[in-house]
Amino acid sequence: MPLLYPASTGHTVDDKYSALVEPNLFAANVFQPGITFTDKYQIGPAGQIMVHKPGIGTVTPTAPGADFTHAVVQDSIVTISLNKQFNRSRKIYGATAGSVAYPIAAAELEAGLQEVRAGWNLTAAKSIALEAGILLDDNILTVTATDGSDIYDTIVNSRKKLRDQKANPNVLIVSPSTYAKLLKAPEFQRSTQLSDQAVADGMVGRIAGLNVFEYESLGVAVANGEVITDVNGTTTDITWVTADDELEYIMYDSDAFSIVTSVELVRVVDAIDFNGSLAQVEIVSGFKLTNPKRALLKIHDASAAA
């Protein structure tokens, strides 16, 4: 709409668009190799990767000089399927590119990267949420801490449940509401230098020996109607109700969560069916929690707590 200075009675002024682009908002890129997942099984092109998992037997003491006791301890196979593709192709019309003052190809490529990255991170979180083997059954249907007063104790109890399974948890991914509770906890305040920890990998602090990551999309990692199962059998399976359930945090051993990637593509190419170009991003990955007993979920059921 033309602008008049002064309004209504003045002269029409020319339009001028800034060469700057307002960035869109995306959730944090919390899944980083060697920090929140392992890529040690990245061994080259493949449709799926078969990982041997040696069995574990029990050794009991004998009298000195006793013969060896021979045993065959059966192994198992863990399959990591590269079955998730994420891609985006954003159209850039030639007429548009010739009429704007900013580098539209670079901006569209960056937007495509962000879109793919958002979907990739959400799939990673979903993989852990649906494969984790331990639910925190202590007060699972109550609010963890409305004022943050007992959030530290809850996290320590969660860590204990994983250590009881011989896991070594080192990652805590929390929802914004849980992170807000953590900020009120004196234990977190004493152990964290937020200005030093807010780095590109998304870590916002440490608590109880865990690297803490705030993930804005954690609440949508589980879709309505999906079933979460406790492999230990100590908690009733939960059929997720989006309106009532909240995933407060995921705690796990990063070495037990594998992501393998076989294809990565980032390019700008000329279009063949219109005058313009395409900013394209593609990635193919496989996600696998190789040992469910090395991950724990903390869930809040608002309707049950009401």
pLDDT band at 125 (very low <50, low <70, confident <90, very high): very high
Mean pLDDT of 70-81: 72
Amino acid 195: pLDDT: 42
Q: How far apart, in whole angstroms, are the C-alpha atoms of residue 57 and residue 54?
A: 10
On the question of pLDDT at 63 being above 80, the answer is: no
Amino acid 144: pLDDT: 47
Give the lowest-confidence range in 89-93, 133-137, 165-169. 133-137
On the question of pLDDT at 305 being above 90, the answer is: no
Mean pLDDT of 107-122: 87
75 within some domain:
no
Number of domains in the chain: 1
Q: How far apart, in whole angstroms, are the C-alpha atoms of residue 304 and residue 306?
A: 6
**Computed from CA positions of residues 142, 148, 149, 154, in that sequence, does the dihedral angle turn out positive or negative?**
positive
109 within some domain:
yes
51 within some domain:
no
Pairing state of beta strands 210-214 and 203-207? antiparallel
218 within some domain:
yes
17 within some domain:
no
Amino acid 147: pLDDT: 56
What's the mean pLDDT when you consider all of the chain?
A: 76
Please give the residue range of the domain that contains residue 158: 83-305
Q: pLDDT (tens digit, 9 = 90+) per residue, 164-210?
A: 888 899 999 999 988 888 887 777 666 555 444 444 445 677 888 89
207 within some domain:
yes
pLDDT band at 104 (very low <50, low <70, confident <90, very high): confident
pLDDT band at 135 (very low <50, low <70, confident <90, very high): low
Mean pLDDT of 6-12: 56
On the question of pLDDT at 15 being above 60, the answer is: no
105 within some domain:
yes
On the question of pLDDT at 123 being above 90, the answer is: yes
Amino acid 55: pLDDT: 67
60 within some domain:
no
